[in-house]
Amino acid sequence: MKPIALTLMLALMLSGCGGAKDRAKEGVAGMKALFAAAFGKDGSVEGGGLCGDPLLVGEAIGDIPGPGGCGVENAVRLRAVGHIGLSQSATIECGTAKALKQWLQVAAVPAVGAKGGGIGELRVAAHYACRTRNHKRGARLSEHAKGRAIDISAIHLRDGTQVTVLNDWRSKTYGPDLKTMHSRACGIFGTVLGPGSDGHHEDHFHFDIAQHGNGAYCR
pLDDT one-digit tens code per residue, 62-99: 999 999 899 999 999 999 999 999 999 999 999 999 99
What percent of the chain is modeled with pLDDT above 70?
A: 87
Higher confidence at residue 61 or residue 41? 61
Give the separation between CA 177 and CA 205, rounded to whole angstroms. 13
pTM for this prediction? 0.87
Residues 36 and 58 in one domain: no
Q: What is the pLDDT at residue 9? A: 46
Q: What is the pLDDT at residue 20? A: 57
Residues 20 and 128 in one domain: no
Residues 16 and 94 in one domain: no
Orientation of helix 3-13 relative to helix 20-39, angle to 10°: 160
Residues 102 and 17 in one domain: no
Residue 103 pLDDT exceeds 70: yes
CA 43 vs CA 26, 36, 46, 101, 202: distances in Å: 21, 8, 11, 12, 34
Residues 5 and 62 in one domain: no
Give the separation between CA 83 and CA 85, rounded to whole angstroms. 6
Residues 112 and 19 in one domain: no
The values of phi and psi at residue 186, to 5°, are -65, 120
Total structural domains within the chain:
2
Residues 94 and 197 in one domain: yes
The string of pLDDT tens digits covering residues 136-188 is 877 789 999 999 999 999 999 999 999 999 999 999 999 999 999 999 999 99
Mean pLDDT computed over 127-135: 90
Residues 18 and 53 in one domain: no
Residues 34 and 58 in one domain: no
Q: What is the pLDDT at residue 60? A: 98
Residue 10 pLDDT exceeds 70: no
* Structural domain that includes position 174: 44-218
Mean pLDDT computed over 1-6: 47
